[in-house]
Structure 1
Amino acid sequence: MATAASPLAEADFATRYAQHLLAQLQAGPLHSAAAPPGLQRHPAIAWAQSGLMPLCGEPEGAPQLCPLPLPSCADAALAALAQLSGAAALRGFSGAQLLSERAALMQLTRGGAISAGGACHLLDTREGGIALSLPREEDWELLPAWLQDGQAVDVGDWSALQARLVLQARDELLERAQLLGLACAADVDAASQAVPWLRVLHGAPLHGVNAPRRPPRVLELASLWAGPLCGHLLQLAGAEVVKLESWQRPDGARRGNRDFYDLLNAGKRSVALDFASREGRAQLRALIAHADIVIEGSRPRALRQLGIVAEELLAEQPRLSWIAISAYGRSAEQELRIGYGDDVGVGAGLSAIQAQACGQRMFIGDAIADPLAGLHAALAAWASHASGGGRLIEVSLCGVLRHIVESARLPEAAAWRERYVRWMAAAGTPATPVPRRAPALAAALGADTQSLLRDWAVPC
């Protein structure tokens, strides 16, 4: 795609982005007759109707938009998946709606330099800004080692933390965060050449799409948002989805907002295994052997410690599609780095671009990298399965967002400002977020373990 779009070309950005995604998958052109009507919306209108604008801006200020076509890209990814799968269930809503529905269900709103969920803050160091996520009490316990001053910071005392950060070097903080397992990113716009939204790390390149002979079996080894959304969309596309969790560490989203958890997980069969036991690890391996698609939503070492190595399993199962979703990908220098949707969004350049456009750093949306990655991952998963499988595909939250940024990049701050002013004028009154509703409750942890093991002929 072009690195910059003229005002005239902006009107069909979603259509062009859908065409771009399908072309990268060798999946043919977008059929205009089958494209949802919302795909023709101008990006500013997509912003206004998505429910995202009330999630951007200062708490006491007016709703904002970002001069990047994020809702349009969500619409495009969903339209591409709907075309490949032929599923009518994917045509009843817009991809843009997925970006704000968690906030709607949790009644979140904009916080400026504080994420909508509250766990991530924009902070200043001696050498520039960072985004830091501290969602758990144990993350706060790591701060003395991170700051290297031996002094504890009370949980939730962001002001005290900020006072100490201004004396610290940003690059050193980023390096130590990665070593300690803290989610931290630089608040910069790192302009680059085109960044791929997926990488085929093992197996043949994608080479066209055929209708699957039967609905694929999907094994979802993922938690929170991006991975479960990927599984949810594949389920709507017609797949049989099994949510596989550890008895010791189930999906943390089970403890969160129940309506949102049900929305993403209703209809999935729930299997829980004891990964600490030899029997549980053997059952895990057997379930993978019966799957067509595996969604991995953790850093690679988590499964490797259980003896599960994607590349080895692909050699044994030549039709398996392994979709690896992580914050920054599986390269040697990034695979241990953690990230959440808000801090990854900042690291991909969204806050810095917004500062160029309107003069203010801020979070864009609610954990924006998660739903966008989940949408793109579902598209990659279906395309891989429909073209024969046999691939390990990396979809990183940062990679997806940087790909979107580069697909709509403007050359200078003045151009971002001009687009921002024009889009704000065109957007009109923004809609409030409106969520979909789950058709049923999600299954309790492990509710389907025995029946699924029998159905898939796995020893109990």
Structure 2
Amino acid sequence: MRDWADSGVVALTGRHGGPPIVPPGRAATVARERASWIAEVTELSSDPVLVDGPRLLSERAAFTGHSRRGDISVGGSCRLLPTSDGWAAVSCARPDDPSLLGALISRAVDESDPWPAVAEWLKTHTGSELDERAELLGVAAGSLRSTDTIPGPLVPLVPRSVQGLLVVDFSALWAGPLCAHLLGLAGARVVKVETPTRADGARRGNADFYALLHGGHEAVVLDPDTAEGRRSLALLVEAADIVIEASRPRALRRFGLDADEAVARGTTWVSITAAGRGSDRIGFGDDLAASAGLVSHDTDGSPLFVGDAIADPLTGLTAAALAMSAPADGSGYLWDISMSAVVAATLTGESEVQSERRSGHWVLVTDSGVADVAHPHRRTPRGRVADVGENTVDTLRSLGIPVP
């Protein structure tokens, strides 16, 4: 309960204007344990990584200023809606999502406000129908599932220093970049790769939060639609000690990249997906956390979002801990990290602790005392943020890779 209270997540959970709610499970404690493990691995290096794991879970809201909104996500792009047999989380975050939602429900929607039509359709369709259609169409949505079967925790192998290692980061948004950021803090050289047509969408978000995750990293743009671009991508991956990506395997194959081949050469490959590499499911931090079972409940039993896209920072922290490990023989390894599984592994039951208002602020009263409900906390960005592709020529030349 104290980990939850300190995390800032409780302050982001509940109805707007209502009391903050303590989430179920132990995600904040898992975050503390992962951050402590990273600190232990790096404490003997010149770049020890000392971060507050629970506070990482709510950090973005400290930059954006967003607060709890109940059944609407903190960022506003995801909603919890009733189906004919339960509840579902549906995201509408990308520019083409309104048209995809129209395809999902087989009717035109108001692109400025697709929610009434989507809500009407869900009321007459089951969660299973939603899941099947969402995966087929690439919609970030899923029914809220039971958590009776909880995957086991992800356990690192042999700790290893990443100082001086080359990290090639193909990921975007929050989970993968947080992993890369933590590896960078530990002394790794991080190269962010974007394409001419698809820069990281987070660049359009809060600039200070983007700077926190990307400050000091090199920015490279390569075009996988050209033979020269694919060759440079392949050589960059060959040079990497660690690769981070958050794409479905078929998308990477279009780039001419093969995780198994890289692992066979000794690369640590960190693959972050919604539900594992064997699934075609699409998802973001809010809908994935909710559909995995991490929701709080209102007084009438209806589900409410927990924190701000909590699956993202929880997965990013987990991925960084795993990347700071390797098989004992030093061979390559493929970490197949399912964001849904990472969240589900933290669920151990409902909380019975309620928040109370005392002396003008919210507290949790536990058997061991009173804990203040902390607000989200922001760290100070360090290092300059490179523009899209700013370092392409210098980075490739430093690695002996031909510039396309």
Code of the residue aligned with 2:20 in structure 1: it is: P
1:322 counterpart residue number: 269
TM-score (norm 1): 0.80
1:177-326 matches, within 5 Å, as 177-197=134-154, 208-211=158-161, 215-315=164-264, 317=265, 319-326=266-273
Structure 2: how far apart are the matches of 1:197 and 1:358?
Answer: 35
Structure 1: how far apart are the matches of 2:249 and 2:48?
Answer: 30
Structure 1 gap segments, 5+ residues each? 1-43, 199-205, 411-415
Q: How many residues matched?
A: 393
1:130 counterpart residue number: 88
Q: Are the structure 2 counterparts of residues 404 and 242 from structure 1 closer, same or farther at C-alpha, using a change threshold of 3 Å?
A: same
2:352 counterpart residue number: 418
2:313 to 352, 363, 371: 371
1:458 counterpart residue number: 401
2:130 counterpart residue number: 173
Code of the residue aligned with 1:125 in structure 2: it is: T
Q: CA deviation at 1:421?
A: 7.6
Q: CA deviation at 1:109?
A: 0.5
2:360 counterpart residue number: none
Task: Say if 2:14 is the partner of 1:70.
Answer: no
SS in 1 for 2:352: helix
Q: Are the structure 2 counterparts of residues 151 and 208 from structure 1 closer, same or farther at C-alpha, using a change threshold of 3 Å?
A: closer
1:9 counterpart residue number: none
C-alpha distance after superposition, 1:201-237 (max 9, x if no partner): xxxxx7534556x621110110000000000000111
2:301 counterpart residue number: 359
2:359 counterpart residue number: none
- Is contact 1:358–1:420 with CA below 8 Å preserved after alignment? no
Q: CA deviation at 1:360?
A: 4.1
1:99 to 34, 41, 57: 57
1:347 counterpart residue number: 291
Moved more, 436-445 or 113-122: 436-445
SS in 1 for 2:82: strand
Q: CA deviation at 1:252?
A: 0.8
1:28-39 matches, within 5 Å, as none
C-alpha distance after superposition, 1:7-39 (max 9, x if no partner): xxxxxxxxxxxxxxxxxxxxxxxxxxxxxxxxx
Q: CA deviation at 1:168?
A: 1.9
Structure 2: how far apart are the matches of 1:266 and 1:112?
Answer: 33
- Is contact 1:344–1:398 with CA below 8 Å preserved after alignment? yes
2:387 counterpart residue number: 444
Structure 2: how far apart are the matches of 1:248 and 1:160?
Answer: 31
Task: Say if 2:120 is the partner of 1:163.
Answer: yes
- Is contact 2:219–2:392 with CA below 8 Å preserved after alignment? yes
- Is contact 1:247–1:274 with CA below 8 Å preserved after alignment? yes
- Is contact 2:130–2:143 with CA below 8 Å preserved after alignment? no
Code of the residue aligned with 2:321 in structure 1: it is: L
Structure 1: how far apart are the matches of 2:63 and 2:86?
Answer: 34
1:32 counterpart residue number: none
- Is contact 2:168–2:237 with CA below 8 Å preserved after alignment? yes
Code of the residue aligned with 2:152 in structure 1: it is: V
1:59 to 16, 25, 29: 16
- Is contact 1:328–1:396 with CA below 8 Å preserved after alignment? yes
1:142 to 100, 114, 119: 100
Structure 2: how far apart are the matches of 1:57 and 1:210?
Answer: 40
* CA RMSD, 1 decimal: 2.2
- Percent identity of the aligned residues? 39
Q: CA deviation at 1:193?
A: 4.6
Q: CA deviation at 1:167?
A: 1.6
Structure 2: how far apart are the matches of 1:93 and 1:207?
Answer: 21
Task: Say if 2:376 is the partner of 1:433.
Answer: yes
- Is contact 1:210–1:387 with CA below 8 Å preserved after alignment? no
Code of the residue aligned with 1:338 in structure 2: it is: I
Moved more, 162-171 or 396-405: 162-171
> Which is richer in strand?
2
Q: CA deviation at 1:386?
A: 7.8
- Is contact 1:67–1:357 with CA below 8 Å preserved after alignment? no
SS in 2 for 1:113: coil
Structure 2 gap segments, 5+ residues each? 357-362
C-alpha distance after superposition, 1:174-223 (max 9, x if no partner): 1011100001111233310543437xxxxxxx7534556x6211101100
Structure 2: how far apart are the matches of 1:170 and 1:327?
Answer: 17
1:25 counterpart residue number: none
Task: Say if 2:78 is the partner of 1:120.
Answer: yes
C-alpha distance after superposition, 1:323-358 (max 9, x if no partner): 101111112xx1x1100000000111112xx33998
